[in-house]
Structure 1
Amino acid sequence: MIEKEDINFERSVIVGIITKDQDESKLKEYLDELEFLTFTAGGQVFERFIQKMDQPNPKTFVGTGKIEEINSYIIENEIHTVIFDDELSPAQQKNISKILNCKVLDRTNLILDIFAQRAQTSYARTQVELAQFQYLLPRLAGMWTHLERQRGGIGMRGPGETEIETDRRIVRDRISLLREKLKVIDKQMSTQRSNRGAMVRVALVGYTNVGKSTLMNAVGKSEVFVENKLFATLDTTVRKVVIGNLPFLLSDTVGFIRKLPTQLVESFKSTLDEVREADLLLHIVDISHHDFEDHIESVNEILKEIKSNEKPIIIVFNKIDAYLPEVIAEDDLMTKRTSHHRTIEEWKKTWMSKVGEQNAVFISATQKENFEEFRKKVYEAVRNIHITRFPYNNFLYPDYNSIID
């Protein structure tokens, strides 16, 4: 939790529940992420509210006593925004707003707001606007007066500011118009992808904020925007990269996240098409994050959802320079260790090296540590795809050891 108050940040609290499907430790991880999302959107979390329930209250998500506790804290501490970790139903959002008399958001709304801030191109803004309207449509009843009273700040960017008076019919018309606009752009982008020639396509995928853009800059010698916040990159960047004498196309895509709003999966179809049409995926993992295993699982689930999980994948464990294990057992003694004690050879002896049929590599994108092995793995994987596609060209691209000798 942020200790020092920043007057430029929106005063917020976050709310989550412990259920049979989500224990206390898992909720803590989700709330840590929700707090980082809030910070990314421009908010400061002052308090967390947690309740143990069999299932969410259909009227107010949490129980009556807990909602009263939250309301008291809001009044006493001048809180502007309450953010719930799970998606609220339209009825829940309406009921909670009436009780708390402040801005009420859920995780989906918060992520959409961050996307609205990050969207730089007309295409990205259109994608975000479509997702926002799809989210707002079932919530129109009784919502506009709330939006009008709480205009501005987190969750209010985009259609929330300019379409207060919009009714369902106009919103549906707007959704149809945005879909048609995206169809035209998707067709243009599909044509662009088909015009890239026969070069092998490699896509960077991974959880948000794992260092994909940093790696893109290091490998592709490009200037992709990098920031230690979630969803720093929305627009897909494609660069021609050459390792040895072998050229290929490398694309940086939007980061994935747990509980990814379904509206975003639909509206960001073209961005995900970069992944679908790639010949090779580089799955970037932030090994310094305490929950990186869950991040791997979340990304794999989304890859499966978009039917891209059967592609060749290299697991790239990034940020080894920032990895600090809490405790490691040695000879039945619990001994603290630091990152300085773990060499690349030690990394290769861990279970992580066997992830993805032992097709894993450990690097630091910022320090360019172990980049030679990374380049070798990528080169060999791209080479195998290329010579399978064009066997008569196999003499042009020898194995990696030959080109560096």
Structure 2
Amino acid sequence: MRCILVGVKTKDKTEKELKNSLSELEGLVEALNGKTLGKLYQKKEVPDPATFIGKGKAYQLKELAEGIEADTIVFDTDLSPVQITNIENITKTRVIDRTDLILSIFSERAKTRQAKLQVELATLQHQLPRVYGQKGKALSRIGGGMKTKGAGEKLGEIKVRRIKDRISKIKKELEQIKKQRKQQRKWRSKDPNILKVALVGYTNAGKSSLLNRLTKRDTFISDQLFATLDTKTSYIVFPDTGKKVVLTDTVGFVKDMPQEIMEAFMATLEEVEEADLLLHVVDVSDENWLEKLESVEKILKKINVIDKPSIVVLNKVDKIIPSPEFLDESEEEILTGHRDSVIISTEMGWNLDKLREKIKEYSLLLKEPSYYGGE
């Protein structure tokens, strides 16, 4: 995939936000083994309803695609069916939007039955309005006849019905999986010696690596966006207290997470809702770590878990300091003070004992049911 990235600075987006967003988009392209050959920027207060970037800019995009032999144009926003069709007609090049790109990554990475169903559901929900918006021969009426399902029924209506039927079947199957997972969690919730912990955070913050380190589990990790999609669960046991900690890794978030993905992955996010404690993992070496932390907190607020007990785990500090001797100094400089936080390096093992001690402190509070809203 040889790509051109297209970013538009609208009235509600700063230059810095546009730059950061396109940088993330480039990372998403790399996650699909694609290559970014060029970028096109456009300042437009209000997106053009026909092409988003305006007809003149669309022809510039055509010349750029031809000049560098790009085969895909990726927009850092969601496009309407009409906009995609119009831009493809002008540029003679495949056009996808940000949600298309994320769904393609999810489709490649999904391993379990649940994850595959969730990706298919999100994809179908994203496609549905596009089928409604299609024009031309694909939606021409079928003539009446003995073998047709009703004279004059549109091809588009058949497609819509098929997609809706499939969505309904997927939702039923996911509901069954949800019930099974609920039963699996039920035994844990009854045991006062088990603390349920969910790892949350921006994609590529190091959640899977941290799970491996804390539990000595062999989970796939990669320095890519959305390297893992499937929920992973493992355990820590504190012999001196008799407490057991169940840690669950969850899918990483991105800024402005597409609604289709949010809805499709609610079964995964239930692990967050059921948790007693959240470990919010942050890549502190990222210059935009604070903005990404806030983006995740907005999502946690949407699913009504922002008030849960949490520890902010500032990871990858080894990328900004040369040795653990500088940890205390870094904590004074980086930690926000009003949060329960710990600065660590999963890669180097720095401060992991400190994090374990914090988790243990929360596990000791399990003897007080009211702490977690228990009966």
TM-score by length of 2: 0.88
Deviations 1:237-292 (A, max 9, x none): 11121235331111000001112111111111110000001000000000001110
Instruction: Indicate conservation of the 8 Å contact 1:206/1:255, yes or no.
Output: yes
- Corresponding residue of 2:331: 348
* CA distance in structure 2 between the aligned counterparts of 1:144 and 1:114, rounded to whole angstroms: 30
1:379 maps to 2:374: no
* CA distance in structure 2 between the aligned counterparts of 1:241 and 1:233, rounded to whole angstroms: 21
* CA distance in structure 1 between the aligned counterparts of 2:319 and 2:357, rounded to whole angstroms: 23
1:290 maps to 2:270: no
Instruction: Indicate conservation of the 8 Å contact 2:81/2:134, yes or no.
Output: no
Instruction: Indicate conservation of the 8 Å contact 1:280/1:382, yes or no.
Output: no
CA distance 1:131–1:144, shift in 2 (3 Å):
farther
- Corresponding residue of 1:321: 318
- Corresponding residue of 1:100: 91
Deviations 1:39-92 (A, max 9, x none): 102210000100111121111010222111110111222211000001111221
Q: 1:279 is matched with which residue: 276, 286, 292?
A: 276
* CA distance in structure 1 between the aligned counterparts of 2:5 and 2:89, rounded to whole angstroms: 18
- Corresponding residue of 1:194: 186
CA distance 1:59–1:188, shift in 2 (3 Å):
same
CA distance 1:369–1:165, shift in 2 (3 Å):
farther
**Which stretch of the first structure deviates more once superposed, 104-113 or 164-173?**
164-173
- Corresponding residue of 1:266: 263
Matched residue SS, 2:198: strand
* CA distance in structure 2 between the aligned counterparts of 1:113 and 1:143, rounded to whole angstroms: 25
- Corresponding residue of 2:149: none
Q: 1:212 is matched with which residue: 203, 207, 212?
A: 207
Matched residue SS, 1:343: helix
Give the length in aligned residue pairs. 348
* CA distance in structure 1 between the aligned counterparts of 2:184 and 2:221, rounded to whole angstroms: 25
1:184 maps to 2:176: yes
Gapped regions of structure 2 (runs ≥ 5):
139-155
- Corresponding residue of 1:301: 298
Partner letter of residue 126 of structure 1? L
* CA distance in structure 2 between the aligned counterparts of 1:235 and 1:166, rounded to whole angstroms: 33
CA distance 1:144–1:176, shift in 2 (3 Å):
farther
- The runs of at least 4 consecutive aligned structure 1 residues that moved more than 6 Å come to 143-146
Instruction: Indicate conservation of the 8 Å contact 1:347/1:353, yes or no.
Output: no
CA distance 1:310–1:50, shift in 2 (3 Å):
same
Instruction: Indicate conservation of the 8 Å contact 1:243/1:375, yes or no.
Output: no
1:226 maps to 2:221: yes
- Corresponding residue of 2:369: 389
* CA distance in structure 1 between the aligned counterparts of 2:254 and 2:244, rounded to whole angstroms: 31
CA distance 1:121–1:165, shift in 2 (3 Å):
farther
Please state how far the C-alpha of 1:142 moved relative to its aligned partner. 3.8
- Corresponding residue of 2:54: 63
Please state how far the C-alpha of 1:348 moved relative to its aligned partner. 2.4
1:237 maps to 2:232: yes
Cα RMSD (Å) of the superposition?
2.1
Partner letter of residue 129 of structure 2? P
1:81 maps to 2:64: no
Please state how far the C-alpha of 1:220 moved relative to its aligned partner. 1.0
Q: 1:254 is matched with which residue: 248, 251, 254?
A: 251
CA distance 1:22–1:193, shift in 2 (3 Å):
same
Partner letter of residue 178 of structure 2? D
| 1:40-55 equivalence runs, <5 A | 40-55=31-46
Matched residue SS, 2:99: helix
Q: Matched residues, percent identical?
A: 40
Partner letter of residue 330 of structure 2? W
* CA distance in structure 2 between the aligned counterparts of 1:360 and 1:17, rounded to whole angstroms: 36
Instruction: Indicate conservation of the 8 Å contact 2:324/2:350, yes or no.
Output: no
CA distance 1:54–1:380, shift in 2 (3 Å):
same
Matched residue SS, 1:62: coil
Partner letter of residue 44 of structure 2? M
| 1:125-136 equivalence runs, <5 A | 125-136=116-127
CA distance 1:342–1:358, shift in 2 (3 Å):
farther
| 1:164-183 equivalence runs, <5 A | 167-183=159-175
* CA distance in structure 1 between the aligned counterparts of 2:342 and 2:158, rounded to whole angstroms: 52
Instruction: Indicate conservation of the 8 Å contact 1:144/1:165, yes or no.
Output: no
* CA distance in structure 2 between the aligned counterparts of 1:145 and 1:103, rounded to whole angstroms: 20
Matched residue SS, 1:195: helix
Please state how far the C-alpha of 1:339 moved relative to its aligned partner. 4.2
Please state how far the C-alpha of 1:167 moved relative to its aligned partner. 1.3
TM-score by length of 1: 0.82
**Which stretch of the first structure deviates more once superposed, 164-173 or 41-50?**
164-173
Partner letter of residue 18 of structure 2? L
- Corresponding residue of 2:344: 363
* CA distance in structure 2 between the aligned counterparts of 1:83 and 1:342, rounded to whole angstroms: 44
1:11 maps to 2:2: yes
Please state how far the C-alpha of 1:372 moved relative to its aligned partner. 1.8
Instruction: Indicate conservation of the 8 Å contact 1:320/1:339, yes or no.
Output: no
* CA distance in structure 1 between the aligned counterparts of 2:290 and 2:25, rounded to whole angstroms: 18
Please state how far the C-alpha of 1:312 moved relative to its aligned partner. 0.4
* CA distance in structure 1 between the aligned counterparts of 2:227 and 2:285, rounded to whole angstroms: 19
Partner letter of residue 227 of structure 2? A
